[in-house]
């Protein structure tokens, strides 16, 4: 498991986790998951009000 923090201009710090499966010295699977909270928060702030 590898954890990332990426600083972006529009969304601030985004966090992600990457899970690697290694068999016989080779990566056989790679899953990357992002915490989308900051992106969703920015989208909600831009949503037109009814």
CATH number of 2-46: 3.10.450.50
Q: What pLDDT shows up at residue 10?
A: 84
Helix (DSSP H) and strand (DSSP E) numbers for the chain: 1, 3
Q: What pLDDT shows up at residue 32?
A: 96
Domain extents for the chain?
2-46
Q: What pLDDT shows up at residue 19?
A: 98
Where the chain has pLDDT below 70, the residues are 50
**Residue reference for tokens 């016989």:** 24
Q: What pLDDT shows up at residue 43?
A: 86
Q: What torsion do the CA atoms of 17, 22, 25, 28 make, to the nearest 10 degrees?
A: -100
**Which pTM was predicted?**
0.67
**Alpha carbon 13 to its chain's center:** 10
């Amino acid at each position: 498991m590898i954890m990332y923090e990426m600083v972006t201009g529009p969304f601030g710090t985004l966090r992600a986790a990457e899970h690697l499966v290694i068999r016989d010295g080779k990566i056989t699977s790679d899953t990357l998951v992002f915490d989308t909270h900051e992106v969703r928060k920015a989208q909600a702030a831009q949503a037109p009000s009814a």
